[in-house]
Amino acid sequence: MNTVVTSREEILRAAGEMVKEGKGERISMRGIAGACGIAVGSLYNYFPTKNDLMIAVVVELWKELFFVPLSKIEGESFLEVVECIGKRIGRFGGGSQGFLAEHAFVVGDKEKGHQVMEEYLGHMRRELLTVLLGDEAVRREVWDEGFLAEDFVGFVVDFMVEDLMRGTDRSVFLRELILRVVYG
C-alpha cells in the first residue's frame, strides 16, 4: 500500500464514484481503501465505523443532488428548476438509487440517517418555494388555505425523491402536473 496521506474528501469521492458506477451494494472498508490506495486502518482515522462512512457517503450524494442554491438560478421558471433537478437525479443512473434507498434510512443509526436526509431535502424545499413564489408565470389564485404553495413544493420534492429511491422516471407526469396546476 502507498503511504501517501489521503484526505477525507478523497475517501468520500472514491466511495461516491463506486456508488455512481453501480457498485454501492458492494461498498466495504476494504474496497474503499483499495480504491484510495491506502491501508484499511487509515480509513478509521476518518470514520470510526462503517456506518459513519456510509452516512458520510449518503450526505455527499444528497449534497450533490440537492444542495444547490436553486434560487440563484436567474430567469428560470419553477418548472425549469424542477426539470434541472430531475436531470441531475437522472445522471446518477445505475446503482446509486438502490444505494440511497438502502442507506438513507438503514444505516446503523436510522435517526441520524433520517436527519441527514431531511437537512438536504429541507434546503431544497425552501429554495424551490423561493423559486415558485418568484415565478411570475405562476397563477397566484391557485393558492388558498387548503392548497398552500409550501405543501405543493413538499409534494413535488417527495415525488422526485420517491422516483430516485425506486429508480423510476415519472418526469413527464410531474411536468404535466406542474403545468396544469400552477401555470394553468
Task: Provide the pLDDT for residue 121.
Answer: 85
Does 51 fall in a domain? no
Instruction: Please indicate, yes or no, if residue 125 is contained in any of the structural domains.
Output: yes
> What is the structure's pLDDT at 2?
45
DSSP H or E stretch at residue 127: helix 110-134
d(CA 175, CA 170): 9
The predicted-structure confidence for 29-70, as pLDDT tens digits, reads as follows 888 999 898 999 999 999 998 888 888 887 887 777 766 665
Q: Which residues of the chain have pLDDT under 70?
A: 1-5, 22-26, 66-75, 91-110, 112-113
The percent of the chain in helix, strand and coil, each rounded to the nearest 5, is 75, 0, 25
Asked if residue 1 belongs to a domain, the reply is no
The residue range of the domain holding 172 is 57-181
DSSP for 58-97, please give it: HHHHHHHHH-S-GGGSTT--HHHHHHHHHHHHHHTHHHHH
- Name the 3-class secondary structure at 165: helix
